Amino acid sequence: MHNLLLRQSTRNALIALGGALALLFCVAFLLGRASDAPNAVCIEQKEDLRLQREVILELENENIQLRIANLALRNKTLTLTENISRLPHPQSRVDLRDVFVGEREVLIKIPLAQEGIVAASNSMDPVLEENNIVLEVTPQSPAELYIGDIIIYQSGDSRVIHRIVDIGYDAEGWYAITKGDNNPLPDPAKVRFVQVLGVVIGIIY
């Protein structure tokens, strides 16, 4: 009987010890989960900060590129304005007394004047653009052409409308150096008087 009670007491003690160990294991597990939570939050915050830095850097790079583009556009605009301001003015060929403005029509008395349509080209921007109407007359001699005049001349199979930027003489006689207002360089070849088809006396936009 005494041995039976001892065995029962030992069994109860073991059961109590097992329960205590199980309880300790559960507590330890919960504490471990609790300690991992701040680490997970910290990792997420670090990842958010990294993404924010990347976005800020990307925005800064885009802002720099935009500033560079704006500066280039500003310089181009200033250069174009400067070039336009330096262009010689065409020779005046229309007298005010020959211009009559009525209620329904405008009459300009210019003998042998012709009209032309500007083709698609950016070489004379912003003075001439596609589909602008130009009024022209045919000069009778080189003496009627001046630096600053806009002329139409034949170049191979094409008709070119550019400005005279220089006039000179060589072994072949009179020639003009022409250039599109929007072109960086003059035309490659000298223009002879026989190539000149007309000189612009008016532009209708």
Residue 103 lies in a domain: no
Domain boundary pick from 86, 117, 140: 86
**Same-domain check for residues 81 and 114:** no
**Same-domain check for residues 61 and 135:** no
Domain boundary pick from 55, 86, 117: 86
Domain count, the chain: 2
Q: Is 88 helix (H, G, I), strand (E, B) or coil?
A: coil
34 alpha-carbon distance from chain centroid: 57
**Same-domain check for residues 64 and 145:** no
How sure is the predictor about 46, in pLDDT bands with cuts at 50, 70 and 90?
confident
pLDDT tens profile 89-126: 888 888 889 999 998 998 988 888 899 889 888 899 88
Residue range(s) defining the domain that contains residue 124:
109-204
Please spell the DSSP secondary structure of 132-194, one letter per residue.
-EEEEE--SSGGG--TT-EEEEEETTEEEEEEEEEEEEETTEEEEEEE-TT-SS--SSPEEGG
Query: Taking Cα atoms as reference points, which of 140, 137, 193 lies closest to residue 164?
Result: 193
Q: Lowest mean pLDDT of 62-76, 96-110, 160-174, 181-195, name the range.
A: 62-76
**Same-domain check for residues 52 and 120:** no
The pTM of the full predicted model, rounded to 2 decimals, is 0.58
**Same-domain check for residues 113 and 82:** no
pLDDT tens profile 19-42: 665 566 665 655 555 555 555 556
